[in-house]
A and B are shown apart, each in its own frame.
Chain A
């Protein structure tokens, strides 16, 4: 089986930085995805980490430590449109995504 944990909710102020942690225990691990999902919409791809380390993409960065079963998504210079659910997902056996329950981020003015 698999166990993927992330906080349920986080709140931050516009312009600030928020870090969403994700821990996992799973078999057949290949890599870790982060998706953003606005209410009632499709999950959209943010990042994919296969190797240990930090991947930076504009305002978003993602980190992976395979030995610790740990990842985080860093959102910088928060904007109101960043209010959404952020889903951590591990990919197993090359194709099967196993998701956490998601972290709802609320950005306040």
Chain B
């Protein structure tokens, strides 16, 4: 079956631009997660949704980062006024329920110039 998909796969932004990253989770998965992975590092937790409710956003680095999942399926991570330090791979993961295995998408590689 189809896995987690993310778009775009690559994004180049000029410093100060806003970007929107999309995640399509596995159909029927209740839980959705966003992670940020810097080069040579493990993923870092950003935020967690259960259906449309954002239950944990403690990992979002600043108020420039915003995530939503309005209908409990597709999610969008938005970064306003991008900075060079935002350059990273943004990974989305979904799981059938909260405590089950998380399945990752291929990520969006963001480069801020």
Contacts and interface: CB of A to CB of B under 8 A. Distances in A.
Contact of B106 (A42, A100, A102): A42
B42 interface: yes
Contacts of A42: 3-4, 91, 104-107
- Chain A, interface SS category: strand
Contacts of A44: 104
Q: Which of B4, B42, B91, B102 has the most CB of A within 10 A?
A: B42
B41 interface: yes
Interface string B71-102: 00000000000000000000101010011011
B65 interface: no
A100 to B, nearest CB: 5
A44 to B, nearest CB: 7
Interface in A21-38: 30, 33, 35
Given A42-B105, A43-B104, A44-B104, A96 B91 contact: no
Nearest to A47: B101
A96 B107 contact: no
A91 B100 CA distance: 10
A87 B48 contact: no
B101 A99 contact: no
B106 A41 contact: yes
Given A44-B104, A95-B33, A101-B41, 10 more contacts: A42-B3, A42-B105, A42-B106, A42-B107, A43-B104, A94-B99, A95-B98, A97-B33, A101-B42, A102-B42
Interface of A: 4, 30, 33, 35, 41-45, 48, 87, 89, 91, 94-102
